[in-house]
Amino acid sequence: DDISQPLPEGTRVFSSSIPSSSTTITSEPNSSLIPTSSTTGELNCITCGFKTSGAHKCPRCHRSIHIICGRQAGEEGYGSSVWCPRCDLEAKRDKREVLRVGIKRKQDMLHQRMVSSAAKRYEPALVGDNITIPIERPDKMNSLSQLNVLGVIADVSDDLYSVETKYGTLSITYTRNQFDLCSSNRFLNPS
């Protein structure tokens, strides 16, 4: 008489009225929901389990499916391919993974191109090389004349350059793209 127990999966409940404490609930398995074996020749939809004509099949798992139980994979009409939900999800997941791999490969390629371009553009500076450090004018009235500070590379550590001028060593370090090498080392001599 305990109606709070769960019923087995695939069962259909028959009752003539709303159950009361005196009413007994009977249950029978729903034969149309249970997939039949392939030996009987009946085809059941992979999604809903009901009988199907077999006209529509999933292009990935090749199982029969109703047209309304999945997503159309091409032209409409009798015999067209219909993606079952499981294969549709897997195909979308596979497509996203292919896109991720392609994007990662493209990012790595662009990174290598940028690094090699920077390496070609900025040859490494050595200790004792004369350099010019561009400084923007505060008034910006005459953009054609840019101020430069002449200096000598005093030390290199971890691609950061310490610069020495005739007034002393600068307190900040520079990366290679922040200064230009002079064509000759005749301006300043290292101390």
Summarize the confidence of residues 21-38 as an average pLDDT. 46
Share of the chain above pLDDT 70, in %: 69
pLDDT in tens, 79-124: 788 989 999 999 899 999 999 999 999 999 999 888 887 767 788 8
What was the pLDDT predicted at 43? 87
Q: Is 115 exposed, middle or buried (0-12, 13-18, 19+ CB in 10 A)?
A: exposed
Query: What Cα–Cα distance (Å) separates residue 29 from each residue in 15, 48, 108?
Result: 14, 16, 58
Lowest mean pLDDT among 14-18, 69-73, 153-157, 187-191: 14-18
Q: Is the dihedral of CA 138, 144, 147, 151 positive or negative?
A: positive
Residue 147 to residue 130: CA distance in whole angstroms = 16
Supply the pLDDT for residue 25: 46
